[in-house]
Amino acid sequence: MSTSSTTRKASREAPPVSSTGGASRESLISRSAAMLIMGVFTLYFLTPIWWLFVSSTKSVGEFTTTAPLGFTPDAIPNFIANIGRLFSYNDSVFLKWIGNSVLYAGVGALLGTLFAAMCGYALAKYRFRGREAVFNVVLSGVLVPATALALPLFLIFSEIELTNTYWAVFLPSIVSPFGVYLARIYGSSSVPDELLEAARLDGSGELRTFFTIGVRLMSPALVTIFLFQFVTIWNNFFLPLIMLRDQTLFPVTLGLYAWNSAIGQNPELRSFVIIGALVSIVPLIIAFLSLQRFWSGGLAAGSVK
């Protein structure tokens, strides 16, 4: 394992060394073309965020009367005032929404990752009748969009009177077919059977083997699954929309959407929606920046079987 990764690293670094003598002009053109394309796309993706940031530094009246992408003179005091008003509006309900999102996405992703890891590990490391069938059923779950399941879920949850509770959003969130798939693929290649044999010979129980050996060896994939699941739950909108009525249970996506749809009644909400949207992407940015080095590693690992 370690030898193969060093050779791969070496071969990746090799080409630039050998090509320095060759067509450096051509590489300059192609490189600048690539940079140009990437630059255009960066601009394309970052402009809305810039707009969001600039807009959050404006007072309600300034939205429609000033240049959309330029700061106004009172940007900093306005920004502070906006944040203050956002967090105090309607008994600080926005803070509650952020807390709910963190709870749904954080705990949901953690448990989802654990279950996916256990399931994927079992599918990768144990031979039992119907193993492929189970895996295929789980895999087919990847293909069914979550949106299509929301309504049936609502009817089921209605039967057991769990709609409009934390559980209504939380329970469906801890299931991740894609996570199971990734955990299985990664587990079968990164957890050697010999190691498990050795652990068994040493008297380790299966559960202990899983937590002490399996989880550690699979950790790059698990971080990927966690991030994936975290983002999916954080952005999940349709399920909470269908399930929840009590605004103290809303995640931030649904709360902002509800505010946005009530702008007609209360135009002041417009500024709350914009500043709220800006604040709501901060946790995602933090999650990505702190875990991104695992992210790409895990994804690539899944593709190389």
Partner 1 sequence: MQRTVKTAAMAAAVVSALALAGCSGGGTSSPDAAPAGDCEPSEGAVELNFTSWVPGMDQVVELWNSENPDIQVNFQTGPNGNSGTYQNFFNEIKAGNASDLGQIEYDALPNFRVQDGLENIAACGDILAAGDDFVDWTWSQVTFGEDDAVYAIPQDSGPMAMYYRADLFEAAGIPVPTTWEEYAEAAALIKAEGSFITNFPKTDVNWFAGMVWQNGGQWFGNDGDAWDVQLTSPESIEVADYWQALIDNGEVSELASFSDEWNNSFDTGAQWTWVSAVWGASTLSTGAPNAAGNWRVAPMPQWEAGGEDAGNWGGSSTAVLKGSEHPYEAAQFALWLNTDPEALAMANELGGLYPASKEGANLEAFAGESEYYGGQKIYDVFAEASANVIPDFVWGPTMTQTYTDVSDGFGEVLGGTGTLTDALAAGEEKTVSALEAQSIPVKE
Q: Does 27 bind partner 1 (CB under 8 A)?
A: no
Q: For residue 271, which of 77, 82, 48, 66 has the smallest C-alpha distance?
A: 82
Q: Does 305 bind partner 1 (CB under 8 A)?
A: no
Residues across the chain: 305
Q: For residue 91, give every residue at least 6 positions away whose Cβ sits within 8 Å of its Cβ, in sequence order, or none.
A: none
| CA angle at 232 for the pair 229 and 238, rounded to the nearest 5° | 140
Q: Does 69 bind partner 1 (CB under 8 A)?
A: no
Q: Which CB atom, from 135 or from 170, has the smaller least distance to partner 1?
A: 135
**In sequence order, which ranges of 144-268 are alpha helices (DSSP H)?**
146-159, 166-173, 177-190, 193-201, 206-209, 215-217, 219-235, 238-243, 252-261
Q: Does 81 bind partner 1 (CB under 8 A)?
A: no
Q: Does 268 bind partner 1 (CB under 8 A)?
A: yes
Which tokens go with 240? 């909470």
x/- binding map, residues 97-126, to partner 1, per CB under 8 A? ------------------------------
Q: Which CB atom, from 199 or from 249, has the smaller least distance to partner 1?
A: 249
CB distance 182 to 118 below 8 Å: no
The Cα-based distances of 258 to 19, 55, 95, 172 in angstroms read: 57, 20, 15, 22
CB distance 218 to 116 below 8 Å: no
Alpha carbon 67 to its chain centroid, in Å, reads 33
The residue whose two tokens read 């979550």 is 146
φ and ψ of 266, to 5 deg: -140, 90
Q: Supply the minimum distance, in Å, between the C-beta of residue 136 and partner 1.
A: 5
Q: Binding to partner 1 (CB under 8 A): which residues in 151-170? A: 151-152, 154-155, 158-159, 161, 163-164
Q: Supply the minimum distance, in Å, between the C-beta of residue 232 and partner 1.
A: 18
Instruction: List the one residue from 26, 194, 202, 246 that touches partner 1 (CB under 8 A).
Output: 246
Q: Does 229 bind partner 1 (CB under 8 A)?
A: no
Q: Does 136 bind partner 1 (CB under 8 A)?
A: yes
Q: Does 269 bind partner 1 (CB under 8 A)?
A: yes
Q: Supply the minimum distance, in Å, between the C-beta of residue 62 and partner 1.
A: 8
Q: Does 30 bind partner 1 (CB under 8 A)?
A: no
Q: Does 68 bind partner 1 (CB under 8 A)?
A: yes
Instruction: List the one residue from 87, 231, 270, 294 that touches partner 1 (CB under 8 A).
Output: 270
How many chain residues bind partner 1 (CB under 8 A)? 47
CB distance 72 to 58 below 8 Å: yes
Binding site for partner 1 (CB under 8 A): 60-61, 63-65, 68, 90, 132-133, 136-137, 139-141, 143-144, 148-149, 151-152, 154-155, 158-159, 161, 163-164, 241-242, 244-247, 254, 257-258, 260-270
